[in-house]
Amino acid sequence: MVVRQLCLVDDISENEPFQAVIAGYEPFAVFKTNGEIFVMHDKCNHSGASLSLEGRVEGKNVICGWHDATFDLRTGAAVSGPCGGPMSVYSVTIEDGRVLIEL
């Protein structure tokens, strides 16, 4: 596993999806809810919509803005709606105000 900096904690607002990019990788969707930070692949696996640009956070779930596919932020599990299975999630570490993920 390789640990990479994804963004800064200060970049992320509570319950507002955030898109982060690491060169050479697809975009990541970053979420902060109840002070916890979660990261998953940004493209909804049902139709390819950006979860960070068009999704909304409700509790511990993100809901796709196109067709209401709903995923658990903690596990990536499909919760409801037209989902193509679970989403990829990434292990997060916070260090000196930086959000680090394992790739």
pLDDT in tens, 40-86: 999 999 989 999 999 999 999 999 999 999 999 999 999 998 988 99
Three-state SS for the chain is CCEEEEEEHHHCCECCCEEECCCCCCCEEEEEECCEEEEEECECCCCCCEHHHHCEEECCEEECCCCCCEEECCCCCEEECCCCCCCCEECEEEECCEEEEEC
Residue 102 has a pLDDT of: 93
Model confidence pTM above 0.95: no
Domains in the chain, CATH or no CATH each: 3-102 (2.102.10.10)
How high is the pLDDT of residue 29? 98
Looking at the predicted structure, is the pLDDT value of residue 9 above 90? yes
